[in-house]
Amino acid sequence: MEGLVKGLLDVALGGNQRDDDGTDERSRSTSWAQASIDIRQIWSLFYEFFIASDENWCLSIRSCPGERNQNWGSDVSRRPQKVANERYEGGYSQSHPEEEQGNDGWETVGRKPARKQQVRKDNWDEFKRPASEQVYSNEVEHNSAMEPTHDELNDLGKACNKLWELDYNRLTPGKDYEIDCGEGKKSYQKQDMAEGSLFTWMSEDVLRNPTISRFCSLLDNYNPHEGSKEQVTSQEKQEQAAFIEEICRTAPIKYLHKYLCAKGIVSEDFQEFKRLLTSLWFDLYGRGGTSGSSSAFEHVFVGEIKNRGEQSVSGFHNWLQFYMEEAKGRVDYQGYIFPRRRGETPDSETQLLTLQFEWNGVLKSVSSSLIGVSPEFEIGLYTLCFYMGGEDNYVQLGPYHVNIKCYRLGNKLGSAFPIAES
C-alpha cells in the first residue's frame, strides 16, 4: 500500500525523478507545485485501483445513512436509480455532467450519481387529440371466456379470478421487467432495507402497449397534494376518453360489461357503459375539505399527499406510477413488509407485493400493489368489487389470496387496493 502510494506520487512528480541534496529550493517548490496540480490524477488512479474495482465496497458506501435527498422532484436520489426524462429523444441515455459533479468539478466520493435513462413516449402527445381522431388497437375477438358463467355470477371470487385469467396484457417477470425486493422489515421500522431501486429493468416495449401508454399519459394530470382543487383541461378530458375507449377493447372490460349487464347494473348499450366507467373513475369529488380536489383514478393510481398533521401518502397503489416516479427520482423504495405467512418471502417473480417507500420525501409506511398487471385488469377488478362487493372482498387472483379493500365516499369510489392474505 505504502509503496503504491509512493509510486503514484512518483508518477505525479514526473516518473522516477528524485529530489537530491543538490536540488535548490526553487526546484523543490516547483516539484511540489506540480504535485499539487496533479493531485486529481493521483486520486483518479487511487479510485480506479481501490474503489471502482470493488462494486460491493461502493455499494456499502452508498448505503450509508444520512444521505437522504428530500428535495421535491429531485432527479438525484441517494441510491442509484434508473431515471426517466419527461421527453424521449432518440432512444439513448444521455449523460448529465452537471448532475454528476459538484460545482468545483469534483465527483462526490462514495455516492454514485443517478443515471438518466430515456423513456419512450412515442405518440403520447397524440392522446391529447379528440378521442374520435385517435387510432386504437383492434378489439379483442369475442369468445366464450368473456361470458360470465353461472358460478361466476354467484361467486365474486370466481369472477375476479376470471379477470386475472383474461388479463392477456399482464407482464411476465424476468421477460418484461425485473424487480429487486431488497430486504424485509416491519411497517414501523425506519431503516431503509433496500440498497437500490425496486425496478431494476423494464423492456421499452412495455410502454408501447396501447393501454399502458394511455394510462401513463394520464399520470401527470393531477396535483398530488390532497385538498388542492383540480383543473381538468379539455385535452385531459380527451386523454380520459381515449383511455376508456382503449381499455373497452380488451377482454377484462368486455367481461366486466357482460357481468354488470347480467346483474342489471348497466344496460347492454356499450356507450352507456363507457360513460359509467368515465364517471366512476374520473368525476371529481371532495377530499381533504376541498370540493373538486380528488377522483377515484387520482387516489387509487396516482396517489395523494395528506398535509393535515404529519404528512403522509394515501392511495398510490399502482405499479406503473411507482415505476415512473421511481425513474424520475421521486420515489425512494425502502423494502418490502414481511408477509403474514412465514416462508413466503417475495422475490423477483412476485406479482403481489407489500412495500414501504417515500414519495417526494413523504413516507408511505405500508402499500400493496399488483406488479405487472394491466390497467384494464385493475380497472375491471376494482369496478367489479365496487358494484358487486363490500368493503372486504376475499378473493383469489391466480396464485394469490387477496382481500380487495373497497371504500366508498357516498356513491363514489373512495379507494380500492389489494391486501395479501395468509
What does the H/E/C string look like for the chain? CHHHHHHHHHHHCCCCCCCCCCCCHHHHHHHHHHHHHCHHHHHHHHHHHHHCCCHHHHHHHHCCCCCCCCCCCCCCCCCCCEECCCCCCCCCCCCCHHHHCCCCCCCCCCCCCCEECCCCCCCHHHHHCCHHHCCCCCCCCCCHHHCCCHHHHCCHHHHHHHHHHCCCCCCCECCCEEECCCCEECCCCCCCCCCCCCEEEECHHHHHCHHHHHHHHHHHHCCCECCCCCCCCHHHHHHHHHHHHHHCCCHHHHHHHHHHHHCCCCCCCHHHHHHHHHHHHHCCEEECCEEEEECHHHHHHHCEEECCCCCEEECCCEHHHHHHHHHCCCEEEEEEECCCCCCCCCCCCCCEEEEEEEECCEEEEEEEEECCCCHHHHHHHHHHHHHHCCCEEEEEECCEEEEEEEEEECCEEEEEEEEECC
Task: State residue 43's pLDDT score.
Answer: 44
Dist. CA 148–CA 162, nearest whole Å: 9
Catalytic residues: 299, 317, 364
Query: Residue 59 domain-assigned?
Result: no
Least Cα distance to 169 among 200, 101, 215, 122 occurs for 215
Query: Residue 86 domain-assigned?
Result: no
Residue 116, beta-bridge partner list: 83
Q: In terms of C-beta density within 10 A (0-12 exposed, 13-18 middle, 19 or more buried), how is residue 336 classed?
A: buried
Task: State residue 290's pLDDT score.
Answer: 86
Query: Residue 289 domain-assigned?
Result: yes
Domain range for 401 is 124-420
Residue 173, beta-bridge partner list: 177
Query: Residue 235 domain-assigned?
Result: yes
Q: What is the mean pLDDT of each run of 10 residues along the chain (422 residues)?
A: 46 41 39 44 44 36 35 35 33 30 31 44 77 88 92 98 98 96 90 92 92 95 90 93 96 98 96 97 91 94 88 95 94 90 80 95 93 98 98 96 95 95 74
Task: State residue 90's pLDDT score.
Answer: 30
What are the CB-based long-range contacts (under 8 Å, 24+) for 221-224? 222/298, 222/302, 224/302, 224/303, 224/304, 224/305, 224/359, 224/360
Half-sphere exposure of 203 (CA within 13 A, CB side): 13
Query: Residue 294 domain-assigned?
Result: yes
Query: Residue 106 domain-assigned?
Result: no
Q: Which three cell numbers stand for residue 217?
A: 399519459
Phi-psi region of 91 (alpha: psi -120 to 50; beta: other; left: phi over 0): left
Dist. CA 63–CA 57, nearest whole Å: 10
What's the structural domain count of the chain?
1
Task: State residue 126's pLDDT score.
Answer: 80
- C-alpha of 149 from chain center: 36
Query: Do the beta carbons of residue 288 and residue 227 sit within 8 Å?
Result: yes
Query: Residue 228 domain-assigned?
Result: yes
Query: Residue 8 domain-assigned?
Result: no
